[in-house]
Structure 1
């Protein structure tokens, strides 16, 4: 009877919590399916709500001016994972992103209002520290930021160019494919072979004769090479070990761990891009992206002070003179951010931070730069926080775009 009761209704807090969250929270909602908790279902839910001011917002799709103050649900997600024993894991993750006044629909049936699958994969253990799996997954390559969790960001949001394949070869930074991941001592790895999306952000685009490349190889070339992508990320940790149970990398531990890692990663998509010669004949170009990065997060002194610092070099080749908006381009990028948790005895903690990146853009032989200045107020670790950030983006000779964003976040 006790076992039946636990399967049906028990919802317990695990004794082992997320180290960057609140000590009051534990590990959240966990349904134990046997007496010792080795069979379980774990549920996470979070929402990030934005209020953003931008006096220079572009015209909407109908040529109308947009309000300078915008409200949005940046993310609303539910993640579930379960184990029936230590060898088998299933992860399901769904939600929506960037729902605002423009993407709302009268009856909630428009594209912007729809929940969609972020992750859906199964995993099989190959011993204590290594595993293989497959499905719609987030075991990415290139860098730590390309594997970033959105639960524990230090900056307001991730560095956008670091999600380097989002919408080009994948579905919202997730590919369908197979992966292997694990650790040997202080060395961690993740590698994957995946299918390449056909219906991407350039689903109706064709390259112009003699012009720049487009990311349309899977659709236009019809070659088997264009249908696959390859990715890997490798890192070495000098201090405390980080968990790689799930693919999502922590942005800041708020001084609860001593972490120093260096990493390198890649993404390769043979014939992922297409160019057309002056006669209109199409040929493929390989897409190759690699990154080098370092992450440092340690407590400083007493009373809860902590330092977080990160640096990334990323080289992106999407084909000849490739650009898409102000987000993707063939070229290189240097990015860094640093934050400091102010010491104090209060449960509410404050973390001012600074971010900067500079991008070299081959197509225009010019640069783009972005600066972010902000602060987090942690009321209960990452489980309840406010973030205020001022950001300015200067893209080539264009007028700088300045935004101020206030974010409220809760996750359970």
Structure 2
């Protein structure tokens, strides 16, 4: 155990030297190609990668019954995103990549379905006027909460709160629905609403309904006429600096670059999304309804270069009677919060340090108990979010099961 933690610390220092070599304060819009003189016609490419070294107390066995390594390497994300405008009237965006590539899902020739290279987003958007637009395709204009619209480029914590991405694989493809959306703002109030298709083959598609336990596979069992569509929306009021809603991805931390205070509320509603058995042994649909309220604050503190980032969310989760799946999704309620502090005296320095703490507590109807997760970590910035290292220790407890501690080091580059 001690040797494994020593290795992680050694990796941190090694990656620090790599990050310092590549850090730059000259990032001014990235890979953007102008197609006319004034730049109103253009396309932009964004690329990022996150590499993880992770140690967990959780013991696992391979298919031969032998113990697996408790120190593992993985590519958490490797993505390419491109969007283009040749007119202010419309925009097209494509986003592809892979997630959580590791020794368990690598294949000899990289052609297995487990290689996970797929489109995350593909949508087109048409402007109605300066403040409002409509669009359609495989999109990320989600409802529910800020965290359910989180960008993976600039998170405060090592990763997003898992339960805040509330429908991944249940009704959507990796937090993206196929549908139509409308987004815009009225003064300081921003909105996004959407009507979407539900996934046919979700994570719970093989679940067996019971009288007292619902499964989230309504479309597969009841058909698209009864359970094919879902509806979502998120509304947030911007009291201080106004955030951009040009793209759907919400910023996790501005590292003191803006003064933002937003309060939001959102929903996700899927009629007959889940299924249980009635008294006669037949199928009956149950509506999936998720509601959330949240608040986000990010601001510099004084003239010493320090800054604070804080987020809090309460969410009510109704996936159907006693629904639970993989210790991740459950009918019940959730409170989540995180807070980070950018250390002072760094305003004129390239390297910045930002410790943080996060906490999640969930009530779970199916086990009549709670689950919790505590995360303690920090970010070491070499060029803002474009080049950073993150280190986090998390302790996760589910019901009466033993707590699981995990240490993760992340190295990230984003251009």
Q: Which residue of 1 aligns with 2:94?
A: 92
Q: Which residue of 2 aligns with 1:229?
A: 230
Q: Which residue of 2 aligns with 1:153?
A: 155
1:131-170 maps to which residues of 2 (within 5 A)? Answer: 131-170=133-172
- 1 CA distance for matches of 2:26 and 2:264? 33
Q: Which residue of 2 aligns with 1:301?
A: 302
1:368 aligns with 2:371: yes
Superimposed CA distance per residue, residues 324-368 of structure 1 (whole angstroms, 9 cap, x where no aligned partner): 011000000000000000012421000000000110000111000
Contact 1:206 1:216 in 2 (8 A): no
Q: Which residue of 2 aligns with 1:128?
A: 130
Q: Which residue of 2 aligns with 1:260?
A: 261
Q: Which residue of 2 aligns with 1:244?
A: 245
181-190 vs 298-307, which moves further: 298-307
Offset of residue 62 of structure 1:
5.3
- 2 CA distance for matches of 1:61 and 1:221? 36
Q: Which residue of 1 aligns with 2:7?
A: none
Shift in alpha-carbon separation, 1:285–1:137, aligned structure 2, 3 A: same
Offset of residue 55 of structure 1:
2.7
Q: Which residue of 2 aligns with 1:15?
A: none
Superimposed CA distance per residue, residues 235-291 of structure 1 (whole angstroms, 9 cap, x where no aligned partner): 001000000000000000001100000000000000000001354311000000010
Shift in alpha-carbon separation, 1:47–1:226, aligned structure 2, 3 A: same
- 1 CA distance for matches of 2:63 and 2:39? 52
Q: Which residue of 2 aligns with 1:380?
A: 383
Offset of residue 304 of structure 1:
1.7
Q: Which residue of 1 aligns with 2:285?
A: 284
- 2 CA distance for matches of 1:225 and 1:299? 50
SS at match of 1:224: helix
- 2 CA distance for matches of 1:279 and 1:402? 45
Q: Which residue of 1 aligns with 2:350?
A: 347
Give 1:406's match in structure 2, choosing from 400, 409, 414: 409
Q: Which residue of 1 aligns with 2:314?
A: 313
Contact 2:256 2:305 in 1 (8 A): yes
Q: Which runs of 4+ in 1 moved over 6 A?
A: none
Name stretches of at least 5 consecutive residues in structure 1 with no aligned partner: 1-20
Residues paired across the two proteins, number: 391
- 2 CA distance for matches of 1:296 and 1:305? 14
Offset of residue 65 of structure 1:
2.0
Offset of residue 224 of structure 1:
1.4
- 1 CA distance for matches of 2:139 and 2:281? 37
SS at match of 1:220: helix
Contact 2:95 2:122 in 1 (8 A): yes
Contact 1:313 1:335 in 2 (8 A): yes
Contact 1:108 1:114 in 2 (8 A): no
- 1 CA distance for matches of 2:24 and 2:312? 27
56-65 vs 381-390, which moves further: 56-65
- 1 CA distance for matches of 2:318 and 2:366? 11
Contact 2:99 2:116 in 1 (8 A): no
CA RMSD of aligned residues (A): 1.3
Shift in alpha-carbon separation, 1:85–1:386, aligned structure 2, 3 A: same
Name stretches of at least 5 consecutive residues in structure 2 with no aligned partner: 1-22
Shift in alpha-carbon separation, 1:22–1:381, aligned structure 2, 3 A: farther
Offset of residue 384 of structure 1:
0.1
1:168-183 maps to which residues of 2 (within 5 A)? Answer: 168-183=170-185
Shift in alpha-carbon separation, 1:245–1:23, aligned structure 2, 3 A: farther
Q: Which residue of 2 aligns with 1:217?
A: 218
Q: TM-score, normalised by structure 2?
A: 0.92
Offset of residue 63 of structure 1:
4.0
Q: Which residue of 1 aligns with 2:11?
A: none
Q: TM-score, normalised by structure 1?
A: 0.93
- 2 CA distance for matches of 1:385 and 1:374? 13
1:312-331 maps to which residues of 2 (within 5 A)? Answer: 312-331=313-332
Q: Which residue of 1 aligns with 2:12?
A: none
- 2 CA distance for matches of 1:48 and 1:349? 19
- 2 CA distance for matches of 1:57 and 1:232? 40
Q: Which residue of 2 aligns with 1:357?
A: 360
